[in-house]
């Protein structure tokens, strides 16, 4: 039996820090409101010369080095992002050039904040069926370029970051063991960018109306997120034949500390086994999980043979969860 192990991992966050105190000077908000409602204290903002692909490349170089491979070994690059460099070509194509991974196919996927888990499901399946040997999966977002910095409902929430993993075949039962992907019908309007696509091409009028910015019905998204992340987590645990007490660490999407706490409660895991870094980075969408994975590993929170539960939720509305057994053997 062929499995898909994570053999390399890396992360990148831009240097510039935007604190809640900085935001107090930009919109009608307060550190107290942001911390108690979301758990966020600061977030990173990309420099003018940076973009989603350049951040993704920084994270990918670390992952490639750790895997001990050359960029030329990569068969496929998948970039999960909702904030691409451009509509055409894909951010993955920019990344392919930045990495000189000239043998690799390159494709973007957009499942918003669930994108990395969708990518894990696809990448691991492509490896397990024998189609590819080495897949680079990147979750990268520069949401600061899609946020209306005058809209306090959204601008306090998001940040920029990138995380990457390399997936390769393994003979023993390791890597991505089970995954679950889904989407809730008729919820398209809860989290969206209205203009700039085929439904509503960009025009002077759409820009004047601010329709190129992210808009969100936070309360509604919150309710769906709590339900879907809990249900989906329980499903992948069941399919893996595991119970939550066998999970070393829950790595949830970092959108809101209250969503994370509710998810932990649902799967009956205490918060000391749940990774949280939302205070430092805010919601970096498809990048939250690979960034959290890297930081949790560096903090020694899991090691070879440990089971990890990953779960995410995002625009669409979409959800995704996975159970991983860490290590390559």
Ligand X SMILES: CC(C)(COP(=O)(O)OP(=O)(O)OC[C@H]1O[C@@H](n2cnc3c(N)ncnc32)[C@H](O)[C@@H]1OP(=O)(O)O)[C@@H](O)C(=O)NCCC(=O)NCCS
Instruction: Give the residues lining the site for ligand X (CB under 6 A).
Output: 29, 33-34, 37-38, 113, 152-153, 156-157, 191, 216, 218-219, 221-222, 225, 255-256, 283, 313-314
Whichever of 177 and 228 has its CB closer to ligand X, that residue is 228
Q: Closer CB to ligand X, residue 46 or residue 159?
A: 159
Residue 321 pairs in a beta bridge with 180, 311
For ligand X, give the closer residue by CB, 49 or 219.
Answer: 219
Least CB distance to ligand X at residue 211 (A): 18
With beta carbons less than 8 A apart as the criterion, state whether 329 and 174 touch: yes
Nearest to ligand X of 125, 187 (CB atom): 187
113 in active site: yes
CB of 251 to ligand X, least distance (A): 15
Taking the C-alpha atoms of residue 150 and residue 247, their distance in angstroms, rounded to an integer, is: 41
Marked catalytic residue, from 113, 155, 256, 294: 113
Of 13, 65, 1, 3, nearest in space to 295 by CA: 13
Question: Which is the catalytic residue, given 20, 155, 253, 277?
Answer: 253
Provide the minimum distance between the beta carbon of 219 and ligand X in the complex, in angstroms, as a whole number. Answer: 4
Closest CB to ligand X: residue number: 218
- Tokens 């969860």 label which residue? 321
Smallest gap from residue 38 Cβ to ligand X (A):
5
Q: Which of 256, 277, 283, 294 is catalytic?
A: 283
For the bound state, the minimum distance from the C-beta of residue 144 to ligand X, rounded and expressed in Å, comes to 15
Contacts of 242 (CB under 8 A, 6+ apart): 307, 323
Considering the complex, state which of residue 104 and residue 191 has its C-beta at the smaller distance from ligand X: 191
Evaluate whether 28 touches 53 at the Cβ level (below 8 Å).
Answer: no
Compute the least distance from the CB of residue 27 to ligand X, in Å.
Answer: 7
- State the minimum distance, in angstroms, from the CB of residue 223 to ligand X: 9
Beta strands at 247-252 and 76-80: parallel, antiparallel or unpaired: unpaired
Residue 25's CB: how many other CB atoms inside 10 A?
8
Nearer to ligand X, 183 or 242 (CB): 183
Q: With respect to ligand X, which residue has the nearer C-beta, 28 or 208? A: 28
Clarify whether 256 is annotated catalytic.
no
Catalytic residue numbers read: 113, 253, 283
């Amino acid at each position: 039996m062929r499995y898909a192990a994570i053999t390399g991992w890396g992360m990148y966050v831009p240097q510039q820090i935007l604190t809640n105190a900085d935001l107090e000077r930009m919109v009608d908000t307060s550190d107290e409101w942001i911390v108690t409602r979301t758990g966020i204290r600061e977030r990173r903002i990309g420099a003018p010369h940076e973009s989603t692909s350049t951040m993704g490349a920084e994270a990918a170089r670390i992952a490639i080095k750790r895997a001990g491979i050359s960029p030329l070994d990569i068969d496929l690059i998948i970039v999960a992002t909702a904030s691409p460099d451009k509509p055409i070509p894909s951010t993955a194509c920019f990344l392919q050039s930045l990495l000189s991974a000239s043998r690799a196919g390159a494709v973007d996927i957009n499942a918003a904040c669930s994108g990395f888990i969708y990518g894990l499901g696809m990448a691991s399946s492509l490896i397990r069926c024998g189609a590819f040997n080495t897949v680079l999966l990147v979750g990268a977002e520069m949401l600061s370029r899609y946020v209306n910095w005058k809209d306090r409902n959204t601008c306090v929430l998001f940040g920029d970051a990138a995380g990457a993993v390399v997936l390769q075949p393994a003979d023993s039962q390791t890597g991505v063991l089970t995954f679950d992907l889904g989407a809730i019908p008729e919820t398209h309007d809860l989290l969206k960018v209205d203009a700039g696509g085929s439904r509503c091409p960009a025009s002077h009028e759409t820009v004047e109306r601010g329709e190129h910015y992210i808009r969100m019905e936070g309360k509604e998204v919150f309710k769906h997120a709590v339900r879907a992340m809990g249900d989906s987590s329980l499903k992948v645990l069941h399919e893996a034949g595991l119970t939550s007490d066998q999970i070393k660490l829950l790595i949830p999407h970092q959108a809101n500390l209250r969503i994370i706490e509710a998810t932990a409660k649902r799967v009956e895991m205490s918060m000391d086994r749940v990774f949280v870094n939302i205070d430092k980075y805010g919601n970096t969408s498809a990048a939250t999980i690979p960034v959290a994975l890297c930081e949790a590993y560096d903090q020694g929170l899991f090691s070879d043979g440990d089971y990890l539960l990953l779960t995410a939720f995002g625009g669409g509305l979409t959800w995704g969860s996975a159970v991983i057994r860490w290590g390559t053997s």
